[in-house]
Amino acid sequence: QAGTEPAYVKEIKRLQELYAGRMNILLALEADYIPGLSYGFSTQKSNLGLDYIIGSVHLVKNSHNDVLWFIDGPKREIYDKGLNELFGGDIRKGVTAYWQQINRMIQEEEFDIIGHLDKIKMHNQGRWFNEDEQWYLDLVNETIALIAEKDLIVEVNTRGIYKGRSETLFPGEYILAGLKERGVRITLSSDAHQPHELSMWFEDAIATIKNSGFKMLSTFSEGKWTEVELT
């Protein structure tokens, strides 16, 4: 019904009042970017009454059809199958398509945070490519430059580590160093799917972030992004 406040907004407002002064409760969304298929981020933010949007890529589109390569989830067999079916097993083509899709998202959409930036490495685990190969570094550096140009915040995501699917943070230390060099802001997230995961691996993540030269984290409060000192 037109003009009726959605139930989820009412619930958020109720919780905000209940926990006022004790907890900062926000309404946000991780939005998937798929060229030609996903809804515009700014429209979603306006229609859903969101405080902010995290833009992410979980499904990679090739240039020939709308079949998608699912790079996430617990089963690397699905990753391998999609790579073979959509890109003929050519990891360089598949990975390049991933980073190019990230770049299109940065250039075409309006959002606040990039989620798990180098997620493409999760099911690789040293099998298909090495992250220090020059072609891969060139893709990474191009994206870092775009992020800096658009003044976006990058999420430092711990989920891959505590779920045993990655030996490093999303993004890894090379990218963190590149972000620091270009003055890109970061925020910290566990990408929790369950309450007990809310702050998992934060202590070690903060140590890694500090080692990369960061002294501040971005946090959203009272309708804006502010910087808080790492302790």
Spatial neighbors of 176 by CB under 8 A, at least 6 apart, are: 156, 169, 186, 208, 209, 212, 214
3-state secondary structure of 189: strand
pLDDT number for residue 2: 47
Which string of b and e fits 71-106 if b means at least 16 CB within 10 Å? bbeeeeeebeebbeebbeeeeeebbbbbbbbbbebb
pTM of the model: 0.94
**pLDDT in tens for each of the 231 residues of the chain?**
445 778 988 999 999 999 999 999 999 999 999 999 999 999 999 999 899 999 999 999 987 778 899 999 999 999 999 999 999 999 999 999 999 999 999 999 999 999 999 999 999 998 999 999 999 999 999 999 999 999 999 999 999 999 999 999 999 999 999 999 999 999 999 999 999 999 999 999 999 999 999 999 999 998 999 999 998
Its sign, for the CA torsion 119, 120, 126, 132, is negative
